[in-house]
Structure 1
Amino acid sequence: MKHRARGFGLIEIMISLLLGLLIVAGVIQIFISAKNTYLSQNASAVMQEDARFILTKMAQEIRMVGMFGCLENVDDASAKGDFKAAKITSIQWDSATTKLTLVTADVGNNGGVPTWTVLSDCKAAATATSGAATPSSTQIAFPIRQLVYQFSNNQILLGGAAIVSNVNKFTVIFGTANTAFDTTVTGYTATPASTNLIRSVRLTLEMTDSTGRVKNQTFSVLTALRNRLY
């Protein structure tokens, strides 16, 4: 009596192995694609967070430019006699050296010694002194800082120390009024004729991904000045 052979032939086994390899390759490709997507999204999130941090910080400080206490006239009793000149040019952008200089009221008690301190009774007298100063019982102290931001070697530096990296481009333009007494912005320029014409500041930052996973992204913020510059 003859018995029919049972089982798989060589051809069936080879086909099964091929199908298995195709399935495994597909699963691996899905994992690789998911990982690449995660890495790209993470790189993009890092760029956005860096841009948000520096632009928010600078915008907050720009809003406080020109805030030198509760009186318009401040006597300059600083050690170098440099407060008055800094007060007049309290915001400057040098496109040649890519430096943004701000003379601003200390935002949120940043710590450390301020560049100047304005002591004022908010009635008749205000005096600027160098560094920190202790007010009397009838005075209020206003810490003032001179901050110098610079774009160099794909970094934003503050006082020479890098605070944000992977920056491809950084630009500053000012919204200006026609006269020192107008409040409406009539144009934008990087070189205003006078500081007292500035009504707003637009900061633009182009970030790049060091790993090359995502394209460059541009971020911009427009900040109005709260205090009139003289």
Structure 2
Amino acid sequence: MKKYSKGLGLIELMVAMVLGLVVVLGVTQIFISAKNTYQSQNAAAVMQEDARYLFSRMIQDIRMVGMFGCIDPSNASFVDTTVGQAFSLAAVQPIQYSNNTSNGSVLTLLTGDVGNNGGTPTYMIVTDCKTLATVYTGTQAPTNQASANLGLLSMPVRQVIYTFRNSQIFTGPAASQQVLVNNVAGFSLTFGVAANAADAGIARYTAAPASAALIRSVRMSLVLTDPSKRVRNQTFNVVATLRNRIH
């Protein structure tokens, strides 16, 4: 027999195994880190998309607050044919906000309808754009063609409700609310108000405006949280300006 046998000894084998284990652990750590980064970025992207969806929807409605087309609600004589009595659309607050109530924080808007995708209008105003205006509930107004033949315009108006409650933001009346966004850690509104009803500029921001007629813009602050705690809470802010001054 040969005096020395070729091959690996126990020490060499153990060293090789340790080095291999180190390499495997390093590759595994890189994989786990890349996976965690992907999950964090994906969670942040989902939160940004939720905020973008909510804000785009609310901004569209806020911009149309007080939009009654060609007629001035303060001068027109409105009649609600469904109740058979005088109806003052000007007396209806076009924007209302109740904060921290038993039903949550509620923003109620009276807005001009947007295109054909706004749903069933709350009111339909048929007017001659001068002093005559008839208010119908829902879609009970004459058809647009019939109104056009009489020289009248039909303008849909919707009441839109947003509610923040139990880490969720809903839309719609209490009886038929739909969830818009989940995982909401905070949601607050402040209003840019003018010094007086005739002023178009913003004098200050407040959470409790003295009159809806003074509101010129709405500042929204939204805080979203990741239920899996992969990223920290994200805060989003946006300001929506009312296109139509409220009279």
Instruction: Output the TM-score relative to the length of structure 1.
Output: 0.93
Evaluate the alpha carbon distance shift between residue 152 and residue 126 of structure 1 in structure 2; reply closer, same or farther with a 3 A threshold: same
> Which residue in 2 is equivalent to 1:56?
56
Q: Which residue of 1 aligns with 2:122?
A: 115
Instruction: Name which of 173, 196, 215 aligns with 2:213.
Output: 196
Task: State the SS of the aligned residue for 1:89.
Answer: coil
Would you say the 8 A contact 1:83–1:116 is kept in 2?
no
Letter in 2 for 1:61: D
How many Å separate the matches in 1 of 2:191 and 2:14? 72
Q: Name the CA distance, whole Å, in 1 between partners of 2:237 and 2:36.
A: 28
The one-letter code sitting in structure 1 at the alignment partner of 2:132 is: A
Question: C-alpha displacement at 1:175, in angstroms?
Answer: 0.4
The DSSP-based 3-state class of the residue aligned with 2:124 is strand
Identity value in percent: 51
Match of 1:103 among 89, 107, 110: 110
Match of 1:92 in 2: 96
Q: How does 1:1-230 map to 2 (within 5 A)?
A: 4-73=4-73, 74-78=76-80, 79-80=82-83, 84=88, 88-97=92-101, 98-132=105-139, 133=141, 134-135=143-144, 136-137=147-148, 138-159=151-172, 160-230=177-247
Q: Distance in 1 between matches of 2:99 and 2:117?
A: 27
Query: Helix, strand or coil for the counterpart of 2:15?
Result: helix
Distance 1:47 1:189 in 2: 27
Q: What's the CA shift string for 1:114-137, capped at 9, x where partnerless?
A: 100111233453322111122312
Consecutive unaligned residues in structure 2, runs of 5 or more? none
Label 1:112 to 1:88 Cα distance change in 2 as closer, same or farther (>3 A): closer
C-alpha spacing 1:49/1:2, structure 2 compared with 1 (3 Å): closer
- Partners of 2:10 and 2:194 in 1: CA distance: 86
Partners of 1:110 and 1:20 lie apart in 2 by 62
RMSD: 1.9
Give yes or no for contact 1:88–1:195 (8 Å, CA) kept in 2.
no
Structure 1's 195 and 9: CA in aligned 2 closer, same or farther, altered over 3 A?
A: same
Cα distance in 2, alignment partners of residues 96 and 85 from structure 1 = 27
- Kindly provide the CA deviation profile for residues 152-203 of structure 1, in whole angstroms up to 9, marking residues without a partner as x: 0100011122111111111111001111011111111111111111111101
Letter in 1 for 2:88: K
TM-score under structure 2 length normalisation: 0.87
Supply the distance in 1 between the matched residues of 2:205 and 2:99 (Cα, whole angstroms). Answer: 15
Q: Which amino acid aligns with 2:156?
A: P
Aligned equivalents of 1:120, 1:187: Cα separation in 2: 36
Comparing 188-197 and 84-93, the one that deviates more: 84-93
